[in-house]
Amino acid sequence: MIAVIQRVSQASVTIDGVVKGQIEQGFMVLLGVTHTDTEEDVTWLSRKIVGMRVFNDEADKMNLDLAAINGNILLISQFTLHASTKKGNRPSFIEAARPEVAIPLYEAMIAQLSADLSKPIQTGTFGADMKVALLNDGPVTIIIDTKNRI
């Protein structure tokens, strides 16, 4: 799994002109699932995201996590994170998981993030044409790949 985590002041996702999910301060997370990902990847990545200390404390140091600021999460599925650009100019998405693998893991991530954060999270819709808007705060953008834990 690959997650692109952006610290935001606000973020939203709109589908067919209707706002599906929106948050104020917190993380907008783009999630890419590959065919070798497992529930163990979900658990590890969720804890990593929720525990990420990148919000400023009273000394203006990035030292606080989501719970400390009562932050929220907007989770968006994005298969293009597994694009291979090695050959030519047209990316290959062969490493992105097929829906029968990706959807259950995406849904597991929603449940795990909600449990780890102790409140519901906001989401897009898997496979939908989504319009994502965000105000990146910092900017702070962090990429985590569960295949590169060490």
Please give the Cα distance from 97 to 99 (Å, whole number): 6
Options 6, 34, 55, 78, the catalytic residue: 78
**Is there a catalytic annotation at residue 78?**
yes
Crossing angle (nearest 10°) for helices 39-51 and 99-117? 40
**Is there a catalytic annotation at residue 79?**
yes
Amino acid at the residue 33:
V
* Antiparallel, parallel or unpaired: β 122-123 and 72-77: parallel
Options 79, 112, 122, 123, the catalytic residue: 79
Please give the Cα distance from 79 to 95 (Å, whole number): 9
132 close to 3: Cβ distance less than 8 angstroms: no
57 close to 104: Cβ distance less than 8 angstroms: no
Task: Take residue 45 and report the two structure tokens written for it.
Answer: 């990545």
By annotation, the residues acting in catalysis are: 78-80
